A and B are shown apart, each in its own frame.
Chain A
Amino acid sequence: MSTTTVSQLDKVKDGPWSGGKSPWNLEYGKIMMWFFLVSDAFTFSAFLLYYGAQKFAQPTWIDADKIFQSVPGIVEHGQPLVFVGIMTFILIMSSVTMVLAVDAGHRNQKQEVVKWMLWTILGGICFVGCQAIEWTHLHHEGFWFGRNPATGLEGDAVAQALAPYFTKEISYTAALQFSNLFFTITGFHGFHVSVGILLNIIILCMTLNNTFENRGTYLMVEKVGLYWHFVDLVWVFVFTFFYLI
């Protein structure tokens, strides 16, 4: 602080963890959001890992190229990965608009924050909408929690009902585990997206209400932004393990 000579004792207390200053230079709520996200990442890791363990334990598995083939409203069959590609693009895009909202918040530009938050919310709603369509499509084909197209059938009919989804051997158990894990994991992710949309709407209302303007900082936008990026991050992994591998 001062230019006068300091004693050894005073010098020792100069580090970031010696007290008197914030060692991480982060606001409390932001640290807590990070810790929550770390724990949430463990939850998603556990889910995806169980999926991996099941896949390793089954002699055969559903072929993603064959089960995800429709672009609802355009083609029913023959276009693998196209629809999920659109979903992935929507989510990455909404992640970008969220960073732009945070960036506008740093510059205290209320109108810009509102604009980018609106785009982010729109992106989130589009994504959840797409997921709902995808779920409906799979449900119509016979997949659901504890159910697959061959549930209730016997003998050769089982193999016949499941044949369109497998490239290698056909297994009722593998199809059932795929079905359960797909709906559980994408469901849990969709739940996170829905909560994110709700949080974004709350933050948008607070911005419009001048809450952050009066507070002098748009830190809340940043915190919700962290959550929103996390949702995008999880989708990157869900996309790889369910749709690509």
Chain B
Amino acid sequence: MSHHHENIAAHDHHDHGGMDKKGIWKVFFILLALTALEFLIALGFVHHWGVIEKGMILNTIYIALTLVKAYYIVAYFMHLKFEKSGFIICCSIGFIFIVYFIVLLLIEGDYLLHHLQSHPLFPNN
């Protein structure tokens, strides 16, 4: 058992393709650039210059940038990209249900907006 454990640790030691110090700082600068871009849009284009209006298109841009940032954190910082493909699938496949959950709850929210508040109220005698 202990031999087995050491074996994995030793193997892990050599199995770190692509994440030396240079790689780490590269990912950091990508994350920083994406965050800076979000601020440029939010503070510059939307707040100060008023070039872009708040709405669905802007939100889509924000969410896309967020997902790219999330990818870089999970893939490189959390090292998932360099794990066995079976493990990657195992950890990420469940999020299909989260996508479904998003669709369900947003439809539900929209339904409540259009129906719940228009329900008439009757006096309680």
B: number of interface residues (CB 8 Å): 55
Give residues 40-73 of B contacting A (CB, 8 Å).
42-43, 46-47, 59, 62-63, 65-66, 69-70, 73
Is A180 in the interface zone, CB < 8 Å from B? no
Whether A25 contacts B12 by the Cβ 8 Å rule is yes
Chain B 109-121 interface 0/1 with A at a Cβ cutoff of 8 Å (1 = within): 1101100110000
Secondary structure class of chain A's binding surface, majority of residues = helix
Whether A233 contacts B117 by the Cβ 8 Å rule is no
Whether B31 contacts A24 by the Cβ 8 Å rule is no
* Closest CB in chain A relative to B16 CB, distance in Å: 6
Cα–Cα distance between A244 and B52 once the two chains are bound (Å): 13
A: number of interface residues (CB 8 Å): 54
Is A184 in the interface zone, CB < 8 Å from B? no
Residue from the list B70, B73, B78, B109 in contact with A53, Cβ < 8 A: B109
Whether A233 contacts B15 by the Cβ 8 Å rule is no
Give residues 1-40 of A contacting B (CB, 8 Å).
16, 22-27, 31, 34-35, 38
Number of A-B contacts (CB under 8 A): 141
Is B96 in the interface zone, CB < 8 Å from A? no
Residue from the list A16, A59, A237 in contact with B117, Cβ < 8 A: A59
Whether B66 contacts A59 by the Cβ 8 Å rule is no
Whether B21 contacts A38 by the Cβ 8 Å rule is no
For this complex, 19 residue pairs linking A to B, each with C-beta atoms less than 8 Å apart, are: A16-B86, A25-B8, A25-B83, A27-B9, A34-B91, A35-B91, A52-B106, A53-B105, A53-B109, A56-B106, A57-B112, A80-B43, A81-B47, A82-B43, A92-B32, A100-B24, A219-B9, A229-B77, A243-B42
Given contact pairs A25-B11, A82-B43, A99-B24, enumerate 9 new A-B contacts (beta carbons under 8 Å).
A22-B8, A27-B5, A65-B42, A81-B47, A216-B6, A217-B12, A229-B73, A240-B65, A245-B63
